[in-house]
Amino acid sequence: MGELAAEKHVKYIVSVEKKKDSFEAVVMEHLRLNGAYWGVTTLDLLGKLHAVDVNEVVSWILSCQHESGGFGGNIGHDPHVLFTLSAVQVLALFDKLDVLDVEKVSNYVAGLQNEDGSFSGDEWGEVDTRFSYIAICCLSLLRRLEKVNVENAVKYIVSCKNLDGGFGSTPGGESHAGQIFCCVGALAITGSLHHVDRDLLGWWLCERQVKSGGLNGRPEKLPDVCYSWWVLSSLTMIDRVHWINKEKLVKYILDCQDTENGGISDRPDDAVDVYHTYFGVAGLSLLEYPGLKAIDPAYALPVDVVNRIFLRR
Amino acid sequence: MDDSDGEEAAGQAQRRAEWSDVTPLPQNDGPNPVVPIAYKDDFTETMDLFRAVFHAQERSPRALSLTSHAISLNPGNYTVWQFRRVILEALNVDLLGELDFTQSVSNGNSKNYQLWHHRRWVAEKLGASSTSKELEFTKKILSLDAKHYHAWSHRQWVLQSLGGWEDELNYCDDLLQDDVFNNSAWNQRYFVITRSPVLGGLKNMRESEVNYTVRAIIARPENESSWRYLRGLYKDDNVSWVHDSQVSLACLKVLSTKSSHIFALSTLLDLISHGFQPSREFIDVLNALSVQDSDYDLAETNDSDLAKTIFTMLECEDPIRANYWRWRKSKLP
């Protein structure tokens, strides 16, 4: 079996971060904050957080903040909870949460909760369990979870549970590994995992492993490295990760590396990107691959970063 | 230069003339711009113009058409969509045109949250008059990708908010006839039988649905989705699950074609763990099958031993999940 080309991946991420004139960078401009989270978290898992300039990143993040308290995907863009969580996560990585006006940011996020407990992504009101997770994770990292109605938030998530034990984006929506991560993650953060049918969901999740060792996100779909994160983190949170074949999954992820120029792709021999590089490395971290920092399956941040937030004061 | 290049250049020239009064606003790359943008193509030019218009909050017909162009270049840009809605509201534009617009965007790439969110915003404003258009729109997209998550979400929203349930069960059937492994169609089927106001709910539908599902299972027993659907039909009703002979007979029938079908074995174990007691005859049939297959010996007398043997089969047949099956075996009384 090959090995993780850690140094190549660091080089790749740093080069993407610098390339603002490439076509990819121009097209990705609107979600650069998400990209920063994927890239910087990967660097930290690889023990190379300071390959990027802290001050440069922090001042850029702050200039993405909108007067409402939320963050846009880049400077001058409209705020959305998706980018707000990325901003908080990246600042947490650098131990710079103190640059934030915590009340302002948390008020923005808390203001997105609806009567039924669900969350909208922004003022335009799109509702999705992704936003429940994002809001809950963000408020918890800011230690302001009390600003929302947690009981209703949990009720809404539970209303999205399906017959297979999984969760969808809205009540009745098909189970999907990405949505399952969001729902299980939000339930884990709020101490509500007793609402999950662990054995039923665990079986559905471990059925996602296909012969090649990779994981898919729904029945009969192709495997993709990103599900190494969505499925594995969910299995970890419900304590069922040993139900899949870990060795085969490690091999699958390593097979998706570009060992020459760095980066990880969705499937072997496809083009690499930062998104899949993050999910591959994060998946390997959950699989306890040597040399990687441990990652927290609910907060999607290295365990030492999460501990720093919750064990301080 | 081919025709499309020519059209593009003409469009660009026209935009330049139309916007000669506005100073484009380049993306601010933060306090330490590393590399200045090295080239000016249509994309950069359009976005620079958009930033200027957005900054000035210009709500005009030309700004609306600029958002159309910006969206065609990058349908993922969230701010452009939002500003488009601001303009549509300010100008009080007839929203029927937006249905065509979103349709044309979806022809390029329909896996895009902004597109669907916009479509829903439009349909919500148009109300029940758009029901059939929305059902047709999603149907068209699902005909290209029958598991399209956004299309299914939108369709469920349409049914619940605007109606149109009457033909939905038939639609699920059409899709399952095309591909019985389509988990999205099974999910929609469950959505319909549990939520449709015209069908009377799960209990009312159970008998006919069990028949339907058992037929689907026997045709393709290796289908995870149909087995899970069958189990879902007995949600919160383990007594019926155990006592409905249709379920155990379906297992037996499948196992009689090949004794190692994972989902059939798993379902049989689920039945046993909930109190199903296979008759002597049932065990004899199973025994005969395992002898035919000769790898396993089911010649045991009680249920617990039968279950243990079945688990051993599952561990061998599905090695990638051996730990899961071992765990279930350990839960046996």
**Residue in B with minimal Cα distance to A32:** B29
For the cut 60, the answer to whether the pLDDT of residue B328 exceeds it is: yes
- Rounded to an integer, what distance in angstroms lies between the CA atom of residue A244 and that of residue B322? 8
- Rounded to an integer, what distance in angstroms lies between the CA atom of residue A298 and that of residue A48? 22
> Per 3-state DSSP, what percentage of chain B is helix, strand, and coil (rounded to 5)?
70, 0, 30
Among B32, B148, B149, pick the best mutation site for testing chain A contact (most A Cβ within 10 A).
B149
Chain CA centroid to CA A225, Å: 13
Of A165-169, A295-299, B290-294, the poorest mean pLDDT is in: B290-294
Determine phi and psi for B18, rounding to 5 degrees.
Answer: -65, -30
- The reply to whether B111 belongs to the active site is yes
* B195 interfacial to chain A (CB closer than 8 Å): yes
Average pLDDT over residues A116-142: 94
**pLDDT score for B329:** 87
pLDDT single digits (tens) A252-273: 999 999 999 999 999 999 999 9
- As to burial, measured by CB atoms within 10 angstroms (0-12 exposed, 13-18 middle, 19+ buried), residue B154 is buried
Tally of CA atoms within 13 A in the half-sphere of B175 that contains its CB: 25
Nearest to B321 among A30, A124, A243 (CB): A243
* Set of chain B residues whose Cβ sits within 8 Å of the Cβ of A204: 228
Closest approach of chain B CAs to the CA of A174, in angstroms?
A: 6
**Residue in A with minimal Cα distance to B155:** A173
User: What percentage of chain B reaches a pLDDT higher than 90?
Assistant: 65
**pLDDT score for B306:** 81
B181/A220 Cβ within 8 A: yes
* B51 interfacial to chain A (CB closer than 8 Å): yes
pLDDT single digits (tens) A17-32: 776 655 556 556 777 8
pLDDT single digits (tens) B90-131: 999 999 999 999 999 999 888 888 999 999 999 999 999 999
- As to burial, measured by CB atoms within 10 angstroms (0-12 exposed, 13-18 middle, 19+ buried), residue B54 is buried
* Set of chain B residues whose Cβ sits within 8 Å of the Cβ of A219: 181, 183, 224-225
Query: Dmax of chain B from CA atoms?
Result: 90
* Set of chain A residues whose Cβ sits within 8 Å of the Cβ of B35: 18-21
Closest approach of chain A CAs to the CA of B77, in angstroms?
A: 6
pLDDT single digits (tens) B146-161: 999 999 999 999 999 9
**Residue in B with minimal Cα distance to A170:** B153
ipTM above 0.90, yes or no: yes
Nearest to B190 by CA among A177, A169, A175, A154: A175
Of A39-53, A181-195, B106-120, B298-312, the poorest mean pLDDT is in: B298-312
**pLDDT score for A311:** 92
Higher pLDDT residue, B25 or A157? A157
Provide the mean pLDDT of chain B: 88
* Set of chain B residues whose Cβ sits within 8 Å of the Cβ of A31: 76, 78
**Quick one: pLDDT band at residue B296, thresholds 50, 70, 90?**
low
Beta strand residue intervals within chain A, DSSP E: 295-296, 301-302
Length of chain A: 313
Average pLDDT over residues B57-73: 95
Higher pLDDT residue, B236 or A105? A105
Determine phi and psi for A71, rounding to 5 degrees.
Answer: -115, 145
pTM summary value: 0.91
- Rounded to an integer, what distance in angstroms lies between the CA atom of residue A236 and that of residue B332? 24
- Rounded to an integer, what distance in angstroms lies between the CA atom of residue B130 and that of residue B120? 11
Closest approach of chain B CAs to the CA of A24, in angstroms?
A: 12
Nearest to A20 among B35, B74, B324 (CB): B35
* Set of chain A residues whose Cβ sits within 8 Å of the Cβ of B32: 53, 56, 60
Closest approach of chain A CAs to the CA of B184, in angstroms?
A: 6
- As to burial, measured by CB atoms within 10 angstroms (0-12 exposed, 13-18 middle, 19+ buried), residue A280 is buried
